[in-house]
Structure 1
Amino acid sequence: MRKQLARSRSDRKLAGVLGGLSRFVGIDATILRVIFIILLIPTGFFPLAIVYGLLGFVLPNEEEAIK
């Protein structure tokens, strides 16, 4: 069975991007969210915020993903 990167419907805070990414990578979503917040500060907020926003539009929801 092949994993597919998709936004999470059950583990979401904003758009479900980090919840879906955590499921794809296999780590806890809370750890990934903390890492994301920590990385927002040294990168100047906008690069990671833009990537998150783009992934929110590009990644399909779990139900829409082809399994």
Structure 2
Amino acid sequence: MKELLGVLGFLALAQGVLGLLHEFTDWHVGLVRRLGFLDGYEVYASAALIVLAFALFAAAESRRSG
């Protein structure tokens, strides 16, 4: 479970950073830009993904191994 939370945290962090890169540099990367219902809220969704990533990392660290 600890490894799964770490992987999910990494994916959320990567997508959040890529979403912010897309918004501020117009690089066409990331998953957030492809979701139509987030149109106009991409920056907020990317920031929320970064916050979620840190929460997942904290949850992974609080889990006991084994």
Q: TM-score range by the shorter chain?
A: 0.3 to 0.5
Bigger-Rg structure (1/2): 2
1 or 2, which has the higher helix percentage?
2
